[in-house]
Amino acid sequence: MMRKTAFFVAALLMMSGTAFAQTIPVPTSQQMFSYPPTADPVLDADPAAARPVGVGSVAAGGLTLTLRISFLQFSGPVDIYFLIASPVGMFYLRSDGTFQPFSGEIEPLKSNTTGPIDENLFGDVPTSALPPGTYFLYCAAASPGSLERFYAWETYFEIQGPGPANGCGDYTGSRQFSMSFDHTANVDVESFHEQIRTIGSVPFTLQADGTLTGEGTIQVSISGQADECTFSGTGTVHVTISGQLSFDETCAPMLNITFNEIWYQNTIVTWVCPGAVFSENQPTVNVTHNLTFPVINGHTISGPVIAPGASGTYSWTLYVQ
């Protein structure tokens, strides 16, 4: 609770106002509203009655997170902010659709807008793709370019984690596994078109103390077109697997896996343009994923590619040796 309170003070300060007609008045002071999880946003011109952030079926213990932000029109311009305090850190959502770690500075999701607003942020996300714990969501409407006058709303949702192993006995299953990767990302922004394919398999082991260890490389290929130029290249992604065995409430074994990935190692992209051919090294990128798998051979977790101008699917499949 202290961390959550400090986060509010440092991040926003928060809000006030009265409502009339079907427009939300711009904030004139600071006031905060809190409400329990709701599947869909609730529109209201009274800020105290509005519930601008819906979370989908996870609000009632379902298996899908659907983040949606909705507001009626405001009576004047405001900046909209969106933040998440998750089990793995605090992040704010930028206008380009990317999450950035919160470290005291924050940028608006939407600037100088009067609305109305109705956005499904990332589509349907399976809860199995998220670390277990409580996620606090903060949405604020502030005077343009200023954090002195706000309306702000707080809600949350829960991702249930594997239950304790107490009473479940010892794990007697396989200790050798492999993880198959099959990712496709397509980027289409004006005259730029790119496809990134990642395939391969990485072995890992369940140790006697219940920890997971493993590492390996998978293949990545890049191809596309930018104006009159085409480009292509291949390389590798180095994957380190760590994590922990646990048990759910039925004593079924679960693997809580962290993937630490270094993308584009030894990746050279060749460009072919009218009158010129040249090559360049693709810069490396560090990526981390946290996923929970039941110990079931062939179990697959898939999710959408979440980035501006991008489409495609990330897919991981567990194989029990």
CA 58/CA 233 separation, integer angstroms? 40
In the chain, the number of structural domains is: 2
Distance CA(319)–CA(203), nearest Å, equals 9
Q: Are residues 144 and 188 in the same domain?
A: no
Which amino acid, residue 114? T
pLDDT at 196 over 80: yes
- Which one of 159, 190, 223 terminates a domain? 159
Q: Parallel, antiparallel, or unpaired: how do β-strands 150-159 and 30-34 relate? A: parallel
Give pLDDT, residue 189. 86
pLDDT in tens, 274-303: 999 999 999 998 888 888 899 999 999 988
Q: Is the dihedral of CA 160, 164, 169, 175 positive or negative?
A: positive
Q: Is 52 found in the same domain as 26? A: yes
* Cα 28 to the center of its chain, rounded Å: 33
For residue 166, tell me if it sits in a domain: no
Asked if the model's pLDDT at residue 213 lies above 90, the reply is yes
This prediction has a pTM of: 0.51
Task: Specify whether 150 is located in the same domain as 23.
Answer: yes
Is the predicted pLDDT of residue 19 greater than 70, yes or no?
no
- The Cα–Cα gap between 281 and 196 comes to 15
Q: What is the CA 318 to chain-centroid distance, rounded?
A: 21
Average pLDDT value for residue range 161-188: 80
- Judgement on whether residues 21 and 91 belong to the same structural domain of the protein: yes
% of the chain with per-residue pLDDT over 90: 50
| Residue 18 confidence (pLDDT) above 50 | no
Residue 289 lies in a domain: yes
Residue 133, domain member (yes or no): yes
Question: What local confidence, expressed as pLDDT, does residue 32 receive?
Answer: 84
Same domain for 207 and 181: yes
Residues 6+ apart with CB under 8 A from 104: 10
Per-residue model confidence as pLDDT tens digits over 53-93: 999 988 887 888 999 999 999 999 999 999 898 888 889 99
What is the band of 231 on the pLDDT scale with cuts at 50, 70, 90? very high
Give the length of the chain.
321
133 and 185 together in one domain: no
What pLDDT is attached to residue 167?
59
Q: Which amino acid is at 71?
A: F
Query: Is the domain of 83 the same as that of 195?
Result: no
Residue 12 above 90 pLDDT? no
Average pLDDT in the chain: 85
Residues 260 and 128 placed together within one structural domain of the fold:
no
Closest to 188 (Cα-Cα) out of 283, 103, 307, 318 = 307
| pLDDT per position as a tens digit, 245-285 | 988 878 889 898 989 999 999 999 999 999 999 999 999 98
DSSP class of residue 311 equals E
Strand partners, 221: 197, 234
213 shares a domain with 140: no
Domain membership flag for residue 170: no
Pairing of strands 253-273, 285-294: antiparallel
125 within a domain of the structure (yes/no): yes
Segments forming the whole domain that contains residue 279? 176-320
Q: Which of 57-61, 120-124, 177-181 has the highest mean pLDDT?
A: 177-181
pLDDT reading at 164 higher than 60: no
Assess if residue 247 is contained within a domain. Answer: yes
Do 41 and 66 fall within a single domain?
yes
Structure tokens given for 276: 């010129």
242 and 312 share one domain: yes
**Listed residues 118, 133, 159: the one ending a domain:** 159
Report the pLDDT value the prediction gives residue 293, as an integer from 0 to 100: 92
For the stretch 127-159, pLDDT in tens is 888 888 888 899 999 999 888 889 989 888 888
| Closest to 237 measured CA to CA, from 183, 186, 278, 318 | 183
Q: Answer yes or no: is pLDDT of 242 > 50.
A: yes
Chain Cα centroid distance, residue 222: 23
The number of C-alpha atoms within 13 Å of 270 and in the hemisphere containing its C-beta is 6
The predicted pLDDT at position 271 comes to 96
Does 208 map to a domain? Answer: yes
Reduce the secondary structure of 205-217 to three states and give it as a string. Answer: EECCCCEEEEEEE
Supply the pLDDT for residue 169: 75
- Confidence label for 308 from pLDDT (cuts 50, 70 and 90): low
Whether 212 is in a domain gets the answer yes
Task: Judge if 150 and 195 occupy the same domain.
Answer: no
- CB of 68 closer than 8 Å to CB of 170: no
Do 310 and 194 form a contact (C-beta atoms < 8 A)?
A: no
